Homo-oligomer: A and B are copies of this chain.
Amino acid sequence: MSVNKQFILASRPQGMPTAENFTLIETAMPKPAAGQALVRTVYLSVDPYMRGRMNEGKSYVPPYQVGQVITGGTVGVIVESQIVGLQEGDFIAGQWGWQTHALVTAGQARKLDPNQAPISTALGVLGMTGLTAYLGLLDIGQPKEGETVVVSGAAGAVGMIAGQIAKIKGARTVGIAGSDEKAKYLMDELGFDAVINYKKSSDIQAELTEACPAGVDVYFDNVGGVISDSVLKLLNKGARIPVCGQISLYNLEQPDVGPRIQSQLLISSALMKGFIVGDYAPRFPEGLAALAQWLRENKIKYAEHVIEGFENTPKAFLALFSGENLGKQLVKTADM
């Protein structure tokens, strides 16, 4: 194979992205120089936060540039290496993104042991999304035995891990998700105490009140909007709210308007904090060790929604916003 396939940002989406915002291009296969290795992508990650980076303005992280490859979490196998300690056939995780091949330098690659866990987990439960759940829930949410934790976007890659960690900490865990299939999985497989299917609910406030008879102590928020409005009415004194994502808003073309929430925080002496996983970089080793341990002990499980074929990357990304995925949304771009 002599070409590298890449998806570049063709134009900035207005509202909901479409396939036309991305262009598949072919470039010459790069050749590693000293201190570099050529990696073939095996799995690439598509994540809601990427939508924010497609806008011009300030977001979590610097915006993507039109005409540039979309970067993001990726795992792959070394094809040719000029890096000491890395050889053909080794697996690595990195951030080279939506392309079938890339050059990496030593500092940009984390070597994976496929005997410890499937390499795809480096993009999920043992990667960014697992760490996001672990650090946001434990540092900001701080759930305690017997408290009630509500997780929105509970069937997503972050939400399902956050909910399971809340269970490990002894909390009553209530999920909000978008299908009966997801609700069933979260309850039957992951041990959530209650799950509300917001797409079927005629009165989410009433369902939440019923599911949280002792109020809400922690709200791990992935979605924002009217779902959050409902949860915030149930806050207990001293509640904590990690704001992890606001996926319901990312494609809005109108300003996001709703009840201002400061009064709710004031009445409850509640804490709300936005965060991105990068805020906690010094704690990644601790988080990865804890997640790996829980995984080995079967205390947490994970789900992946794998779409085959590099060409389907934009489709996999767009599917995040229709809520098709149960767990981590991945694209498998090559055999191992």
Contacts and interface: CB of A to CB of B under 8 A. Distances in A.
Contacts of A274: 262, 264-271
Contacts of A221: 262
Contacts of A60: 266-267
A260 B264 CA distance: 13
A65 interface: no
Contacts of A263: 224, 246, 249, 256
A285 interface: no
Contact of A260 (B59, B258, B266, B267): B258
Interface in A274-305: 274-276, 279
Nearest to A276: B269
Oligomeric state, in copies = 2
B273 A272 contact: yes
A142 interface: no
A249 B267 CA distance: 13
Contacts of A244: 266
Contacts of A67: none
A257 B258 contact: yes
Contact of A262 (B228, B270, B276): B228
Which interface residue of A221, A224, A243 has the most chain B CB atoms within 10 A? Answer: A243
Which interface residue of A228, A246, A258, A266 has the most chain B CB atoms within 10 A? Answer: A266
A240 B23 CA distance: 41
A246 to B, nearest CB: 5
Contacts of A272: 262, 265, 271-273
25 contacts: A58-B267, A59-B267, A221-B262, A224-B262, A224-B263, A225-B260, A228-B260, A243-B265, A243-B266, A245-B266, A246-B263, A246-B266, A256-B263, A257-B260, A258-B260, A260-B261, A261-B262, A262-B274, A264-B274, A265-B272, A266-B276, A269-B275, A270-B274, A271-B271, A272-B273
Interface of A: 58-60, 221, 224-225, 228, 243-246, 249, 255-276, 279
